[in-house]
Structure formats: C-alpha cells, structure tokens
Amino acid sequence: MEDKDISLALRAAVVDGDEVESARLAEAALQAGIDPLLLVDNCIQSALTQVGQQFQDGQLYLPELILAGDAAAAALNVLKPSLLKGGKGGTSKGKVVIGTIQGDLHDIGKNVVGALLTAHGFEVIDLGTDVSPKKFVETAELEKANVIAISSLLTTAMPYHEDVVRLLNDTGKRQNHFVIVGGGPVNVEWAAKIGADGYGRDAQDAVVLCEALLDLVVKPPLKEPLSFGSLK
C-alpha cells in the first residue's frame, strides 16, 4: 500500500470507528516511515473534525461519535512513542478528567462532551458516572489534568459539584486544575456560586470553554467563571 493510501485508510478507519483497524493502520504507517505528526494532523484530527461536524449537523449519532473517538485513541496510542521520540509528544491540547457527579447515573451528556473534546484534540479521561469528589481530585492529580469537567442531569446531585471545589481548596490543589460544570439543570450562576472556573451549555460550548481556559495565562481559580451558551 502506498503512503497516501495508508493515510486515507487510517482516516477512514477513524471515521468508521474501527478501533482494531485504526491501530493496525497506524502501525503500518509508522513501518512505511510516514511522519507521525502528519498522521495526527491530516488523518486523525481531520477525521475527528469531520465526525464532530456531522454529529452537530444531525448526520451522525452518539455511538458513531464515541466509536470514532475510541478509534482515534487506539491510533494515537500506537503513534505516541514515535511522537515522544521526536520530541513531538505534546500533540494533545490538554488533559481533561470528566465524569458525572456522585449520585447521578446519567451519562449521555457527559459522553457527548467527552467525545467532542477528543474530536478537538484533548486527551480525555472518562471516570464514568456516580463519581465521588475524591475520585475526581485524585485522578486529576495523578494524571496532571488541566481541567476537571463535572456533569450532572439531576438538580439534586449538584451539591457535590461544590464538594469537588471545596476538596481542591482544602487540600491546596485548587491552582492545579480548572473546574468546569455542565448538564441539564446547571447554569453559569451555579458555576459562580460554587467557585467553578467555567460553564458551557452544550457540548460544543464545553469544547470552546476548555480551549479558552487553556489559552489563559493565569492559573486557576478564576475570579468569575467563563461562560459559553448561557440562556438569554
């Protein structure tokens, strides 16, 4: 297979959400001597951008979005050692620890945000649902995450958001991580009340929010949360 064909096939495998084929083609591309950075930019990222846009346009649905994210992660895993060897390991825009807060089992919104963040070049560590404040903080510290993203659909699970911020404050780790909140009943006023750094109304807003936070020169916490998509 020619270099161009491998690249195209890798891109197609990511779009198709084929984890096994993506990893295999990433390996084949490295064997063929293709620059891994080009593979990331031209194949993986561009495939994810396409899938993300099709999701936004209602042409693809959540399973396809998640599977494409998984396929991209599989390919990146193969490419990572080569990227690091070439001093180009920092291709991720940043690391986000995401989860649905303790007491809440709803995961759809969180899954969409996680998949779109991946599609936009973030490294996402998904803790799943019913995640305790302690787990959020421990994982964020362990992974040196830039952002802790907390989701909830249930109003009555929201008090635990505050406990994440409180735990970061009380353990002297608040300056290590931005904290953002989102989900059906969450709004920017809530984010401000609990001392979070940002709020996004939908998944696309969450991506813009994470990009904006990581562009800042200041460390967390912010005096006022950044907000994207607030209702009129």
Partner 1 sequence: MNIPDVIEILERTRTGEVCNVKEWDVKRIPRTIRSKLEKYGLQNRCDPANPVNTDDSLADTFFRAGYELALELGMLCETTERIIRVSEDELASALKFAPSQLFVGTGKDGTLIKTRTPSDPYPMPFGASLGITISEEIWPALTEGIARQREVDLLEGGSLTTIHGRSVLPGTPFETLAGFEQGRFHREVRRRAGRPGMGGIGCISSVTEYGQLGGYGVPGGFLPTDLSLVLFPSELKVSYQVLQKVVHTLNVEGLIFAGSPAMIGGMPGSPEGAILSCIACSLLQYPILHSHVGGGEIYDLRYLSNVNREGLWALSVTHQALSRNTHILSHGIANEVSGPGTEALLLEILVGVSTIAVSGASFSTGPRSAGGKLTDYLSPLECRFCAEVGHAASGMSRAQVNDIAKAILPRFENQIKNPDKGKPVTEVYDLKAMQPTPEWEALYRKVKREAIGLGMPLDDKG
Residue 228 beta carbon to partner 1: minimum distance, rounded to whole angstroms: 12
Residue 134 beta carbon to partner 1: minimum distance, rounded to whole angstroms: 13
Binding letters toward partner 1, positions 125-154, x by CB under 8 A: ---x-------------------------x
- Residue 105 as a binder of partner 1 (CB under 8 A): the answer is yes
- Residue 53 as a binder of partner 1 (CB under 8 A): the answer is no
Instruction: Work out which of 15, 44, 67, 124 binds partner 1, going by CB under 8 A.
Output: 67
Phi-psi region of 228 (alpha: psi -120 to 50; beta: other; left: phi over 0): beta
- Residue 170 as a binder of partner 1 (CB under 8 A): the answer is no
- Distance from C-alpha of 108 to C-alpha of 62, rounded to nearest angstrom: 8
Binding letters toward partner 1, positions 171-210, x by CB under 8 A: -------------xxxx-----------------------
Instruction: Work out which of 26, 29, 45, 106 binds partner 1, going by CB under 8 A.
Output: 106
Contact criterion met (CB below 8 Å) for 97 and 125? yes
Residue 232 beta carbon to partner 1: minimum distance, rounded to whole angstroms: 6
Q: Applying CB under 8 A, which part among 44-52, 57-65, 116-124, 215-223 lies near partner 1?
A: 57-65
Closest listed residue to residue 47, CA positions, set 74, 83, 87: 74
- Residue 102 as a binder of partner 1 (CB under 8 A): the answer is yes
Instruction: Work out which of 2, 90, 223, 231 binds partner 1, going by CB under 8 A.
Output: 231
Residue 97 beta carbon to partner 1: minimum distance, rounded to whole angstroms: 18
Residues that bind partner 1 (CB under 8 A): 58, 61-63, 66-67, 102-108, 111-112, 128, 154-160, 162-163, 184-187, 231-232
